Amino acid sequence: MKHSEKIFFSVAASVAVISGIMLLFQINNLFLVEVPVFGGSFTEGVVGSPRFINPLLALSDTDKDLSSLIYSGLLKVSDKGGFEPDLTKSYETQNGGTVYDFIIKDNAYFHDGKPVTADDVAFTVEKALDSVIKSPRKANWDGVLVEKVNDKEIRFTLKKPYAPFLLALTLGILPKHIWEKVSSEEFPFSEFNINPIGSGPYKVEKITRNSGGIPSVITLAAWKKYTLGSPKIKSIVFKFFQNETELTKAYKDLTVESASGLSPASVKSINPDSSLVNEANLPRVFGVFLNQNTAPVFSNKEIRQALEIAAPKKRIVNEVLLGFGKAIDGPTPANIETDAVKAEGSVEAAKTLLLNNGWKANADGILEKKIKKDTTSFSFSISTSDAPELKQTAEILADTWKKLGAIVTVKVFEAGDLSQNIIKPRKYDALLFGEVVENHSDLYPFWHSSERNDPGLNISLYTNITADKALEEMQKATDNQSLTTQKAIVVSEIQKDVPAIFLFSPDFLYLKSPSVKNITLNNISSANERFLSINSWFIETDKVWKIFVNN
Give one DSSP letter per residue of 124-143, joined into a string: HHHHHH-TTTT-TTGGGTTT
Give the pLDDT score at 82: 80
Give the span between the Cα atoms of 484 and 33, in whole angstroms: 42
Q: How far apart are CA 404 and CA 347, in angstroms?
A: 6
CA–CA separation, 393 and 280 (whole Å): 21
Q: Which residues in 349-404 belong to E strands, given as ranges?
A: 360-361, 367-371, 374-377, 379-385
Q: Is the peptide bond before 455 cis (omega within 30 degrees of 0)?
A: yes
pLDDT at 490: 95
Longest dimension (CA), the chain: 126
pLDDT of residue 25: 60
What is the separation of C-alpha 499 from the centre of its chain, rounded to a whole number of angstroms?
25
Buried-state track 301-335, b at ≥16 Cβ within 10 A, e below 16? ebbbbbbbbbbbbbbbbeebbeebbbbbbbbbbeb
pLDDT at 170: 95
The vertex-252 CA angle with 525 and 271, nearest 5°, equals 65
Which DSSP state fits 320? T
3-state secondary structure of 177: helix
pLDDT at 279: 76
Coil vs helix vs strand at 325: strand
**For position 401, what pLDDT does the model report?**
98
3 state DSSP class of 340: helix
pTM score over 0.75: yes
Q: Which residues contact 48 (CB under 8 A, 6 or more apart)?
A: 60, 61, 62, 240, 241, 242, 261
Give the separation between CA 118 and CA 400, rounded to whole angstroms.
Answer: 58
Residues 6+ apart with CB under 8 A from 525: 77, 282, 283, 436, 438, 439, 440, 441
Alpha helices in 264-383 (DSSP H): 264-270, 301-310, 313-319, 340-344, 347-356
DSSP-assigned letters across all residues of 193-261: GTS---SSSEEEEEEEE-TTS-EEEEEEEE-TT-TT---SS-EEEEEEESSHHHHHHHHHTTS-SEEES
pLDDT score recorded for residue 158: 95
Three-state secondary structure call for residue 416: helix
Element containing residue 467 per DSSP (H, E) = helix 465-476
Identify which of 114, 110, 80 has the alpha carbon closest to the alpha carbon of residue 200: 110
Non-local (6+) Cβ contacts of 548 within 8 A are none
pLDDT in tens, the chain (551 residues): 556 665 656 666 666 667 666 666 665 566 667 788 999 999 999 999 999 999 999 999 999 999 999 999 999 988 777 889 999 999 999 998 899 999 999 999 999 999 999 999 999 999 999 999 999 999 899 999 999 999 999 999 999 888 889 999 999 999 999 999 999 999 999 999 999 999 999 999 999 999 988 999 999 999 999 999 999 999 999 999 999 999 999 999 999 999 988 888 888 888 666 667 777 778 889 999 999 999 999 999 999 999 999 999 999 999 999 999 999 999 998 899 999 999 999 999 999 999 999 999 999 999 999 887 889 999 999 999 999 999 999 999 999 999 999 999 999 999 999 999 999 999 999 999 999 886 556 789 999 999 999 888 999 999 999 999 999 998 888 777 888 899 999 999 999 999 999 999 998 888 888 899 998 887 777 888 899 999 999 999 887 666 655 55
Helices 301-310/388-402 angle, 10° precision: 110
Where does 37-77 show beta strands of DSSP type E? Answer: 41-47, 75-77
